[in-house]
Structure 1
Amino acid sequence: MHLNWTALGQVTAVSIGATVAVVVVFALGVLGLARLEGAREHPGGTGALGLGQAVLCFVACAAVVAYGIYLIVPRFH
């Protein structure tokens, strides 16, 4: 049995990179929600900007999850 160690390393690197990217984007979404809450407590803040940031980040995370499900389920191909 022969293993292609280069391909295994590439898959591992891409998986770790994608995981870190999704976690960072989700954390930025939570930061946007925190900005929204901060703007509600202190008028004159950037509440709309925080809401837009949160929505954009959470939509990006949902898109990544949906694409992963698409890749895993053969019925969708």
Structure 2
Amino acid sequence: MKIDYAALGSVFGVSLVVTVALVGLFTLGIMGLSRQERATQQGGSAAFAVTGAYACFVACTAAVAYGIYLIVA
């Protein structure tokens, strides 16, 4: 049995980068929603923050759906 360490390292690296990116996107989405909540309490509007937050959540959903597609296919 021979292990291809280059492929194993490549898979580990890509998994690490994608995981950090997804967590970052989700965090940006949560921050956008909290800014909207804070702006509403102060009597303002944060339409750009809400739009960005929803875009982050859509990107996270798309990435997860693509990952599931790769696993199933």
Same-fold status (TM-score > 0.5): yes
Unaligned runs of 5+ in 2: none
| Aligned match of 1:12 | 12
Q: Distance in 2 between matches of 1:24 and 1:63?
A: 15
- After TM superposition, list the pairs within 5 Å mapping 1:39-58 onto structure 2: 39-44=39-44, 46-58=45-57
TM-score of the superposition, structure 2-length normalised? Answer: 0.94
Post-superposition shift, 1:53?
A: 1.1
Equivalenced residues, count: 73
Percent identity over paired residues: 51
Structure of higher RCO (CA pairs closer than 8 Å, 6+ residues apart): 2
1:64 aligned onto 2:60: no
Which aligned runs of 4 or more in structure 1 are off by greater than 4 angstroms?
none
Unaligned runs of 5+ in 1: none
